[in-house]
Amino acid sequence: MRIWKMNGAGNAFAVFDARETAFAPTEAQIREIAESMRADQVMAIEKDLRADAFLRFWNADGSEVKACGNGTRAVAHLLLEETGKDEVRIQTEADLLKGARAEHGLVSVDMGSPLMGWEDIPLSEKMDVRGVDVKIGPMDDPYLYKPAVVSMGNPHAVFFVDDVDAYDIPAIGPLVEWHPTFPEGTNVGFAQVIDRETIRLRVWERGAGLTKACGTGACAALVCAARAGKTERKAKLILDGGELIIHWDEATDHVIMTGPVELEQSFNV
């Protein structure tokens, strides 16, 4: 079986080619793989008659998830190089996604439309998704409150802050990740709007912790910022591991994510 170690803007992945050899790991095995390969997510490329491949995702804690934007971009790069095509189609549990070559060696993925219904996130009950009833800190004087929420195939809660570096994200992240408002847990974004075309972002990923980059998190932050009138519908997202360009296309309602991919090593087992 072919295995690749890759990263997308610093978001680290272990990718297994399961198109010819079955790959059905246990949660414990996923945790071992993630630890040994220092991966935020583990992914398996499988055959799919509807697309160029099916892509399966696990977080570092062993849980299987439906979406990973940077991971999809990484595998899109592999498939684009393998097939020589300019565009590939990747089926996931969340949606059928399209990956394409972009300028300067970058790779784009069409992440589809953001989901904004409270039941789509999902939330525990009906709430205004532009600011849900979640507070961190003293009840009468919280220092973080009312994050905007959206689903990009996985749930995201986004706090807009003046300075992302002023918060102890490893301490705060778990408090929000499994807050009762989010019955399936949530990714947690801390977004600092620098100007109308630039956002500084750090993300506590559900099941993975604080990562150098989160593709769906970047998409969620841009959607929430643009929806609130804080930015334009296209912006540069500056993450700990690199930069992503996110464009929420008004004509199609689709979110396009563009950024770098790095192949660190590959080997056969």
- What are the residue numbers of the active site? 68, 214
CB neighbours (10 Å) of residue 105?
9
Distance set, CA 257 to CA 25, 116, 249, 260 (Å):
29, 18, 11, 10
CB neighbours (10 Å) of residue 236?
16
Answer whether 206's CB lies under 8 Å from 59's CB: yes
For residues 131 and 114, give the distance between their C-alpha atoms in angstroms, rounded to a whole number. 16
For residues 149 and 186, give the distance between their C-alpha atoms in angstroms, rounded to a whole number. 9
| Chain Cα centroid distance, residue 134 | 21
Residue 112 dihedral angles phi and psi, to the nearest 5°: 80, -165
